[in-house]
């Protein structure tokens, strides 16, 4: 404790290359995993995949579990502004061949991150937001040996994205008019940081309970990586089509879905349909009026709910770990 601030709430930010692209990893708790870290919370963000948006959410998760479990978030490839000593990519041929900034490339990017940076024996609590939920389902399908304890799907965009109210607006913008937006984005990136910050605060001025920790990540988004986010979004509109019922059925006992009541990216109709198709699943409908981009003003509140949803599973994990360490060899 220093000046009334618990130092355990401090975070660390690492910039690494994964699949040849700059990647930001935000970490609360242990920065290097070992045998003592049996459980890791890993956030798979929405789009834009800027991890700074989830700072309050992550900090709340970390503190409410008594600082026992590390909480990490991994950005999407190219969805961060690299520090001065690094470039956006370190292997142009790999980026091109594997389409790392595209939707499939981002899925493989997360699997590559797990293989390289997280011990195989670590139990994972995956938390996806928006397109991050689709990515998690794909990760579960492509690597069935992952030790996933629970997967929490917040405002999941896992089906028929282009058919949603927001999708109908954004599909022509992202798929046919994307290049038109690049010039104003480039001009915005040239503005001084202070002026960009003022503009962002004006845009967010209508949000009464704005979490001010999201302002700086938004500024960084405008600086260099908005084009990568738009490119990924164009592929989401084309590729996120039918719901992956087979993967959901296979992992139903590990999944928790939380749908928004006024979510234009994922209509309530989708909630009722998936609940009908999987009557034994854990599907929840928001009763608190949270927006799809909950990180803007409700990161703490949503984190508190997630804690309650997964607490029982982690108690079981802790009990099994204690028994295994107490058993004579």
Residues with active-site annotation: 130, 263, 292
| Letter string b/e over residues 125-137, b meaning 16 or more CB atoms within 10 A of that residue's CB | bbbbbbbbbbbbb
Q: What angle do CA 166, 171, 179 make, to 5 degrees?
A: 125
Q: Tell the burial category of 153 from Cβ atoms under 10 Å away from its Cβ (0-12, 13-18, 19+).
A: buried
Of 168, 163, 162, 113, which Cα lies nearest the Cα of 135? Answer: 113
3-state DSSP call for residue 7?
A: helix
Q: List, as one string, the DSSP characters of 151-203.
A: EEEES---S-GGGSHHHHHHHHHHHHSHHHHHHHHHHHHTS-HHHHHHHHHHH
Contact 11, 61 (CB under 8 A): no
Of 53, 57, 52, which Cα lies nearest the Cα of 41? Answer: 57
């Amino acid at each position: 404790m220093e000046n009334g601030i618990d130092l355990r709430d401090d975070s660390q930010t690492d910039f690494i290359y994964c699949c040849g692209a700059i990647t930001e990893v935000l970490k609360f708790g242990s920065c290097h995993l070992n045998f003592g870290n049996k459980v890791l919370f890993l956030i798979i963000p929405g789009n834009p995949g800027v991890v700074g948006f989830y700072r309050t959410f992550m900090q709340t998760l970390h503190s409410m579990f008594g600082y026992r479990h590390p909480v990490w978030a991994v950005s999407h490839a190219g969805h961060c502004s690299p520090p001065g000593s690094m470039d956006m990519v370190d292997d142009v041929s790999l980026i091109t061949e594997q389409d790392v900034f595209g939707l499939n490339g981002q899925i493989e990017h997360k699997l590559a991150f797990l293989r390289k940076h997280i011990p195989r024996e670590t139990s994972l609590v995956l938390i996806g937001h928006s397109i991050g939920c689709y990515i998690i389902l794909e990760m579960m399908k492509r690597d069935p040996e992952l030790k996933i304890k629970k997967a929490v799907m917040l405002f999941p965009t896992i089906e028929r994205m282009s058919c949603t109210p927001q999708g109908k607006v954004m599909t022509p913008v992202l798929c046919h008019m994307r290049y038109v937006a690049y010039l104003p984005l480039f001009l915005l990136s040239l503005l001084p940081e202070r002026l960009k910050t003022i503009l962002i605060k004006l845009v967010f001025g209508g949000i009464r309970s704005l979490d001010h920790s999201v302002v700086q990540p938004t500024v960084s988004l405008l600086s260099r990586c908005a084009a990568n986010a738009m490119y990924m979004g164009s592929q989401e509109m084309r590729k996120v089509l039918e719901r992956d019922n087979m993967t959901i059925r296979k992992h139903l006992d590990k999944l928790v879905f939380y749908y928004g009541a006024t979510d234009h990216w994922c209509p309530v109709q989708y909630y009722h349909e998936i609940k009908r198709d999987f009557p034994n699943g854990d599907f929840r409908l928001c009763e608190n009026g949270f927006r799809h981009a909950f990180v803007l003003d409700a990161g703490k509140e949503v984190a508190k709910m997630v804690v309650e949803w997964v607490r029982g599973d982690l108690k079981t994990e802790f009990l099994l770990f204690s028994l295994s360490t107490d058993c004579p060899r």
